[in-house]
Amino acid sequence: MTFPSFLFLSFCLFVSLSFRLFVFSSLCLFILLFSDFSQNEGKHYITLSYDHIISYFCEYETKTEGTMNEELDFTFEEAEEKMGKALKHLEKELGKIRAGKANPQMLESVMVDYYGVQTPLSQMSNISTPDPRNILVQPWEKSMLEPVEKAIMAANLGFNPQNDGTQVRISVPPLTEERRKDLVKKVKSEAENTKVSIRNIRREAMDTGKKLEKQGVPEDLVKVFEHNVQEITNENIEKVDKMMAAKEEDIMTI
């Protein structure tokens, strides 16, 4: 090995101390081994311009950073979507909790034996609330009145459905003070579970941001990412509190 080649190899080993420059050094070694050499008084010199090496390396760096930045954006969007789903789940669970007023969502868990297939009540009948104390269920097929009545009884919702031959009527009894307080506790529990889910989503997103920073994403971009994740976390926690307060008020209102 000639002295110029030895110096070039030493330089490559030096720059390989970091991950990003390791790519650069590997490229240089590849060029050293496979590029054309010119003869000049018995010595070998690389004919490929160093400008080409630097240009190729910079292009590689730009593409790599662009990919990681896209992953950062994807992580944020994924966290935002998951938090939104957590809120929708909370809204669904709160709808199942009786508030003393008639609400079609109270029957959401009712499954009816519809010609041998367990089918949600809402998918085979019309459900309405003519007043705050009554729920009316009118199956699309009159022959399903009895199965609907049995399904509501079997759901253990505390209702006593009445089949009048054309529809099923459910009277929603007023809640006792003790029962209202129990339901408020349940609402707070559901809200807290949602907050925990949102905070877990935040933690996972933050961990991904730190991982990407170690892989080469600029620190300032990661800081912006972390700020935005914290911001949507705060916004969604605030929405949970508002949903919880509204449901509590609804339950405690006589």
Is the per-residue pLDDT at 201 higher than 80?
yes
Segment 122-163, tens digit of pLDDT? 999 999 999 888 999 999 999 999 999 999 999 888 788 999
For the chain, the structural domain boundaries read: 3-48, 66-96+176-252, 104-171
Neighbours of 181 (CB within 10 A): 13
Could you please state the CATH topology (level 3) that the domain comprising 66-96+176-252 is classified under: Topoisomerase I; Chain A, domain 4 (1.10.132)
Vertex 202, ends 197 and 206: CA angle to 5°?
Answer: 150
User: In angstroms, rounded to a whole number, what is the distance separating the alpha carbons of residues 155 and 107?
Assistant: 9
Mean pLDDT confidence for 188-215: 95
Residue-wise pLDDT tens digits, 172-181: 888 888 888 8
Residues 6+ apart with CB under 8 A from 247: 94, 97, 99, 187
Q: What is the pLDDT of residues 15-38, one digit of tens each?
A: 444 445 455 555 555 554 444 444
- pLDDT value at position 102? 82
- pTM given for the model: 0.60
pLDDT score at 176 = 84
- Which CATH number is 104-171 given? 3.30.1360.40
